[in-house]
Amino acid sequence: MEITEIFKTMEYSPAPESPDLALEWLKEHKSKFGLFINGKWCKAKSGKVFSTDNPANGKKLASISEAGKSDVDAAVRAAKLAFPKWKSLSGHERARYLYALARQLQKHSRLFAVLETMDNGKTIRETRDIDIPLVIRHFYHHSGWAQLLESEFPEHIAIGPVGQIIPWNFPLLMLSWKVAPALAAGNTVVLKPAEYTPLTALLFAEICSQVGLPPGVFNLVTGPGQTGSLMVNHPDLKKIAFTGSTDVGRLIREATADTDKKLTLELGGKSPFIIFEDADLDSAIEGLVDAIWFNQGQVCCAGSRLLVQESVAEKVIDRLKKRMAKLRVGDPLDKSMDMGAIIAPIQKERIQNLVDQGKKEGAAIWQWEGKLPQNAEKKGDGCYFPPTLFTNVSPASIIAQTEIFGPVLVSMTFRTTDEAVMLANNSAYGLAASVWSENINQALHVAPKLKSGVVWINCTNQFDASVGFGGYRESGYGREGGREGMFEYLKPKESGISKNQIRKSVAKVKASATTALSLDRTAKLYIGGKQARPDSGYSLNVVNADGSLAGEIGDGNRKDIRNAVEAAHKSSGWQSSTPHLRAQILYFLAENLETRAVEFKKRITQLTGVTEKQAALEVKTSVSRIFTYAALADKHEGMIHQPPMRGLALALNEPIGVLGLVCPDEAPLLSMLSMLLPAIAMGNSVVLVPSRPFALVVTDFYQVLETSDVPSGVVNIVTGDSAKLGTVLAKHDDVAGLWVAGTKTECTEACKLSTGNMKIIWTNNGAQLDWFDNQQSEGREWMRRASQVKNVWIPYGE
């Protein structure tokens, strides 16, 4: 075409990236790959292979080994053997390895980019300019964390060999998000890439050999979901880090419930993209293109739900259609394409089914009308899907609620800010949100109200190694990136058992203890700031250590828990109260407990049978613990990150919401406070189930709460059979987090039963804590457990 013609038509010419280097690399390997275990390449014992294809043309790229049980065992063994030495290297030595990996990735960045595009179908523009630079940045950044590990995390150590399972949408990027922090922290790794996209992970393993990474530190097993499942169930892996669908995340949570494996889950999303009437609409539309058509919409945090203010909705939809018409869909190796191929025919079919569903539901559809490439091999349709827009979508419809994981945008309108927030939060997910407004006050007013781990203001799909990424609700828990991401690969140093420890085994309620009480000492439940009779109308005896009847407690049930959860939700003002106010109230609580120290000492002595001296120590330590959390309430602050952009990311520590707390029997006042205080200091509201035999210590505490200005509904207490009540809390979908200090069986049950809404869970896994030991039982680790990080990205400049 002549230049003058180009000027006339403004048509794009093809701008292909050469696949030659990548094809040569495949040829060098005869297009066959083994597993990378203990620094060596080996065949899978099963002898089974599967193929990986190029989604853009359906051509087979290579044969890949399928790891079975003995292969996974061998990889875990290698990681376990390598762990002690790798962990005990100095931070500097590990930093050098990570630095070498970053350098090597940088030197071969184009090969990685081309290979990723061929294996995944995403455009070279994205792999070259986004995925691979971010991968490199991750290794540099985490080389830094390795160097600083001892000084920055003095109270923490590596966990052990970890299993990492990643999806196909960002193959090498997800590898880097997992491998870099794991190695920096001193863990060794067994990684399974997705079946569709193993190639860049295989090339990465080669790079590990090139930089001389010690054998066994990084092991790669390729295979289907079954291989992942073998890893999940392997007893020697001490942590599972998973990115993928919420359904598989749920299975993994259930499978690991009775183990002490640490777990992070980065799951799906249905993220809102909110355009206010005062937004720069042209920028917002460009943002939308990046939000939903980046990587063909196969992005966990894709802005797939457009919420636009009614006054500008027509204008936005009109301009959006015009912009969509200009999108270029085709060969992913062509540098001028906006969208490439969908990962596999089955995924395309899934997208099509959901689009058909949308039509059936009555939504209006508008699709890009260009010509999609054909499948060169099979001569049929290629694996491409047109950019698609749905308007007139009802918020409850399937397409508004289900993650489509394709280039499909659904749009809805709102009138007021409150309505925008309500619609945005009307999702089981909570991964990311994008807010567009030229009024920064408005944007910063909305950001904290959104239930999501990331909020982008006037931008979208921003990622950086220094800024944690991860979800709320059914989008999972745990963060990747930044300081918070490092904590996910560390555990607190084991501390010794304190000499002052007091533990009292549980007194059994004796049937013979029927002495009539002179006064009615039946302690009620405490719900919404009021004492309430249990729904069941039953009471349970509480017996003193000497066998005499101490009193009675209400036998709470499912309905009482439901009422308590409702009351806790009504106290949401506590979340937005100032940390200073929460600190003041906690100090007041300490004052009022101390005033009644003699009474509590007596109660603890009588109920648990410890000496007066021991009981006095429990009360004294309780007062000190309240002081700790009053102090921390306004000091567990967030951070400001400065990612490589003109802007900031504010890492805000936010409360989780309504937390269920199931307390243990030992040191009943102190253990209860150790769980309650970090929760409320962070702004959570709680439903607390006290120890069954010593519940009267906790019911005595109502009066302390009442006299300390703790707003009603912030602390709700339901007494009764704690195992049973714990089960109800675990199943309750309006409880966002659950802490259980109970027997091993109770902890396992709680983990299994709480997958419905993917509660953030902490349990003691049946092990007793020393509640008197400040290192184990108070401090920032607990504040971290009681909070989740939201990163708010704010670009600046004109």
Give the footprint of ligand NDP on this chain (CB under 6 A). 165-169, 192, 194-195, 224-225, 228-229, 232, 243-245, 248, 251-252, 266-269, 300, 403, 405, 431, 471
Q: Which is nearer to ligand NDP, 256 or 539 (CB)?
A: 256
**CB-based closest residue to ligand NDP:** 228
Nearest to 581 by CA among 655, 677, 681: 681
Instruction: Determine the length of the chain.
Output: 798
Task: Report the distance separating Cα 167 and Cα 402, nearest Å.
Answer: 18
Task: Report the distance separating Cα 315 and Cα 306, nearest Å.
Answer: 14
Q: Which is nearer to ligand NDP, 403 or 666 (CB)?
A: 403
| Distance in Å, CB of 589 to ligand NDP, minimum | 38
Task: Report the distance separating Cα 595 and Cα 509, nearest Å.
Answer: 30
| Distance in Å, CB of 405 to ligand NDP, minimum | 5
* CA-angle at 459, arms to 457 and 464, nearest 5°: 100
Which residue among the candidates 300, 301, 663, 747 is catalytic per the annotation? 300
State which H helix or E strand residue 286 sits in.
Answer: helix 281-293
Q: List helix spans (H) across 326-375.
A: 345-360
Q: Which is nearer to ligand NDP, 367 or 402 (CB)?
A: 402
Q: List helix spans (H) across 221-278.
A: 225-232, 246-255
* CA-angle at 36, arms to 34 and 40, nearest 5°: 100
| Distance in Å, CB of 269 to ligand NDP, minimum | 6
How many C-beta neighbours within 10 Å does residue 343 have?
26
Q: Which is nearer to ligand NDP, 166 or 630 (CB)?
A: 166
Q: Is 300 marked active-site?
A: yes
State which H helix or E strand residue 469 sits in.
Answer: none
Contact status, residue 208 vs residue 190, Cβ threshold 8 Å: no
State which H helix or E strand residue 508 sits in.
Answer: none
Read off the tokens for 430.
Answer: 């909570």
| Distance in Å, CB of 420 to ligand NDP, minimum | 23
Handedness of CA 688, 689, 694, 700 (dihedral sign): positive
Task: Report the distance separating Cα 171 and Cα 198, nearest Å.
Answer: 8
Q: Which is nearer to ligand NDP, 405 or 782 (CB)?
A: 405
Q: Is 28 marked active-site?
A: no
370's CB contacts (< 8 A; 6+ apart) are 325, 327, 328, 329, 386
Strand blocks (E) in 355-406: 364-367, 388-391
Read off the tokens for 46.
Answer: 């099963």
Task: Report the distance separating Cα 90 and Cα 354, nearest Å.
Answer: 52
Q: In the β-sheet with 476-477, what is the strand arrangement from edge to edge?
A: 40-42, 35-37, 218-220, 188-192, 161-165, 239-243, 262-266, 476-477
Residue that has been written with the tokens 């392997």 in this structure: 234
| Distance in Å, CB of 297 to ligand NDP, minimum | 11
Which residue among the candidates 116, 266, 484, 618 is catalytic per the annotation? 266
Give the bridge partners for 688, in sequence order. 661, 717
Give the bridge partners for 554, in sequence order. 539
778's CB contacts (< 8 A; 6+ apart) are 625, 628, 629, 674, 677, 678
Q: Which is nearer to ligand NDP, 266 or 746 (CB)?
A: 266
Q: Which is nearer to ligand NDP, 549 or 751 (CB)?
A: 751
**Most distant CA pair in the chain, distance:** 105
Question: 530 — phi, psi (to 5°)?
Answer: -130, 150
Q: Which is nearer to ligand NDP, 252 or 650 (CB)?
A: 252
Q: Which is nearer to ligand NDP, 163 or 664 (CB)?
A: 163
Cite the active site residues: 266, 300
